[in-house]
Amino acid sequence: GKKQYDREFLLDFQFMPACI
Report how far residue 20's alpha carbon sits from residue 13's, in angstroms, rounded to the nearest whole number.
Answer: 15
Q: Closest distance between other proteins and the C-beta of residue 15, in Å?
A: 8
Chain contacts with other proteins (rule: CB under 8 A)? 2-7, 9-11, 13-16, 18-19
To other proteins, the closest distance from the beta carbon of 7 in angstroms equals 5
Q: How far is the CB of 4 from other proteins (least distance, A)?
A: 5
Among residues 20, 15, 13, 16, which one has the least CA distance to residue 5? 13
